[in-house]
Amino acid sequence: MSEARRIKIFDTTLRDGEQSPGASMNLAEKVEIAQALVDLQVDILEAGFPIASPGDFEAVREIAGQIRGVTVCGLARCNTADIDRAWEALKCAESPRIHVFLATSAIHREFKLKMTQAEIIERAVAGVRHAVAHCDDVEFSPEDAARTERDFLAQVVEAAIQAGATTINIPDTVGYAVPKQLGETVAFLMNKVPNIDRAALSIHCHNDLGLAVANSLAAVENGARQVECTVNGIGERAGNCSLEELVMALKTRSDYYHADTRVNTRRLVPTSRLVSNITGLQVQRNKAIVGRNAFAHEAGIHQDGLLKERTTYEIMRPEDVGFAKTDLVLGKHSGRAALADRARAMGYRLTGEQLQTVFEQFKLLADKKKEVYDGDIAVLIEQEIRAVPHEEWALVSFHVTSSTASPPRVRLTLARGGQEFVEESSMGDGPIDAAFWATEKITGVKTVCKDFRVRSATIGHDAQGEATLEIEHEGETYRGRGVSTDTVEATIKALLNAINRIVFSKKPRD
């Protein structure tokens, strides 16, 4: 068997992934995800589009200054202002890369750019040369390459390499390609472009037809040495190539592709959960690799086969992607050491103070539930490590009355600063609505609820309910998250979590 090729993983969760509607992240959240991606051992991290906004610029600059052990990349159009802004953000990076792009397809040339083929090549060459003047590592993307005439695409690629591009990325910008076609395009470029050996060929696929992973694998099969992808496959419209699916496809079917990555696959599930919690974009239960059901077996025939030989119904080991082999059942008699051991096995690094807080919450939960699963533990840990630095308002108690004969009413008691107790009683269209009104009256924080969801965080009839919401206050959006076996309590906690973020954001800080 031929020696396995190393495929570089270019992660664009913080750039293309953030372009998913509703997935915007603040600076601290971006840095947190960037560090998780370093732990995951991706090769290149696209931190953002510096000229897009002051926030994007600051995020790229902060990540470039803090993060080590990975190439940090910034996106720029093929113009001087974009490229200079990108370099200003990237110049402190240990290993910087400027990624320039310019559309090349006929539809973009005619309707968007109003440029001829010759003008496109001239602009591309000028952009790459200007980027190379700042940085040795320059990537060029002919946007909408999958719909670009192959002969012209080859001309643009050759010119960009001649100008100094060290990576050529082929984007299927609108997810239009199919595997055979895209594979043939990559093979065509590998054979047609005379200087292709001077640059690494990359692929960037969108998922509009559900083919992003398949198309990326077809590109690898035909010579691509870098794949651009995102955690959980998030991104514009239907998203991008899913990092976890691409990585595990190469690892599991190395016999076919003869290719692998350096990704630490045991960090796939923890990284997936982190991105999901920060962006608010939940992973579907049956999502490949990281979905809750990815290694769950209910059918009797499957269970019987697994007991006799695991590989009858599992082509991957759950431990290899970050799941426990089976759900660990903990109860109220379990100690702190057992909880700490389970947290470490799940990939969490807790301080002594964090562990103590999680343990106290675990004991309270264990009194309510017969069995505490890994999912329950993950929820408690995530709740702690993503807590608001200062909790202005906290839930003391609530009482709900609801019937068909009278409007639902919530009697709510909150604590402020750990001292002042306030009670309020409110009516609403339902207990959730009443809880919203009561909380708003007590805190005095006026909000508009933009999104509200409740889901089962774990399994069983006594599962924890997880409430997530987005509220708007004075033109800014804040997210909140709360967990409880009672959905009304989870909702109140989520609302208070968001309100505490509002209060904290307005406090003067050094």
pLDDT, tens digit (0-9, with 9 covering 90-100), for 296-324: 654 546 546 655 777 787 888 888 998 87
349 plus 478 within the same structural domain? no
- Give a yes or no: residue 293 inside a domain: no
What's the structural domain count of the chain?
Answer: 3
**Where a domain ends, among 385, 419, 449?**
385
Task: Kindly report the three-state secondary structure assignment for every residue of 415-461.
Answer: EECCCEEEEEEEECCCHHHHHHHHHHHHHCCCCEEEEEEEEECCCCC
- For residue 179, is it within any domain? yes
Residue 289 within any structural domain of the chain: no
**Residue 432: is its pLDDT beyond 50?**
yes
Residue 409: per-residue pLDDT: 85
What are the φ and ψ backbone dihedral angles of 46, each rounded to 5 degrees? -85, 105
What confidence tens digit (pLDDT) does each residue in 184-198 have? Answer: 999 999 999 999 999
Domain end position, chosen among 323, 350, 385: 385
Please indicate, yes or no, if residue 358 is contained in any of the structural domains: yes
Lowest mean pLDDT segment, chosen from 51-60, 159-168, 260-269, 434-443: 434-443
Residues 6+ away with beta carbon under 8 Å from 369:
376, 460, 462, 464, 485
Same structural domain for residues 163 and 264? yes
Which whole-number Å values give the CA distances from 200 to 7, 160, 167, 445, in the listed order? 10, 12, 5, 53
Is 188 found in the same domain as 77?
A: yes
The residue among 441 and 506 whose pLDDT is bigger is 441
- Residue numbers of the domain that contains 376: 300-385
- pLDDT for 301 equals 63
pLDDT at 402 (0 to 100): 80
Q: Do 311 and 247 have their domain in common?
A: no
Look at residue 484 in the predicted model and tell me its pLDDT: 85
Same-domain pairing of 271 and 304: no
pTM above 0.85, yes or no: no
| 503 vs 507: CA distance, rounded Å | 7
Q: Which CATH number do you get for residue 194?
A: 3.20.20.70
**Percent share of the chain, pLDDT over 90:** 53
Q: How confident is the model at residue 393 (pLDDT cuts 50, 70, 90)?
A: confident
The CATH number of the domain holding residue 498 is 3.30.160.270
Domain boundary, last residue among 385, 407, 429: 385
Residue 350 in tokens: 């807790």
Assess whether 453 and 342 both reside in one domain.
no
- For the stretch 66-119, pLDDT in tens is 999 999 999 999 999 999 999 999 999 999 999 999 999 999 999 999 999 999
Q: Which residue has the higher pLDDT, 167 or 461?
A: 167
308-312, 324-328, 330-334: the lowest-pLDDT one:
324-328
Lowest mean pLDDT among 20-29, 98-107, 275-284: 20-29
* Domain contains 288: no
Most confidently modeled of 227-231, 280-284, 361-365?
Answer: 227-231
Flag whether 333 is in a domain. yes
The angle subtended at Cα 275 by Cα 5 and Cα 475, nearest 5°, is 140
Say whether both 363 and 400 belong to one domain. no
Query: Which whole number is the average pLDDT over 243-263?
Result: 97
Average pLDDT over residues 167-195: 98
Q: Are residues 422 and 475 in the same domain?
A: yes
Contacts of 78 (CB under 8 A, 6+ apart): 100, 101, 102, 123, 124, 126, 127, 128
- The CA distance from 406 to 404, in Å, is 6
**Residue 53 buriedness (CB in 10 A; 0-12 / 13-18 / 19+):** exposed
Closest CA to 70 of 98, 99, 39, 95: 95
In a domain, 466, yes or no: yes
In this predicted model, what pLDDT tens digit does every residue of 32-65 receive, in sequence order? 999 999 999 999 999 999 999 999 999 999 999 9
pLDDT band (50, 70, 90) for residue 412: confident
**Residue 274 scores a pLDDT above 70:** yes
Is 116 found in the same domain as 61? Answer: yes
Position 51 scores a pLDDT of 97
Is there a contact between 370 and 332 (Cβ–Cβ < 8 Å)? no
Together in a domain, 399 and 380: no
Higher-scoring residue by pLDDT: 26, 166: 166
pLDDT tens profile 448-497: 888 888 887 766 666 778 888 888 888 888 888 888 888 888 899 888 88
Find the range with the poorest average confidence among 20-29, 164-173, 212-221, 421-430: 421-430
Same-domain check for residues 374 and 398: no
- Lowest mean pLDDT: which of 23-32, 73-82, 227-236? 23-32
219-230 average pLDDT score: 98
Question: Chain-wide mean pLDDT for the chain?
Answer: 88
pLDDT at 139: 98
Closest CA to 446 of 421, 470, 429, 471: 471
CB 492 within 8 A of CB 469: no
Give the pLDDT of residue 461: 67
β-strand partners of 45: 11, 72
pLDDT for the residue numbered 307: 59
Same domain, 200 and 83: yes
Residue 372 lies in a domain: yes
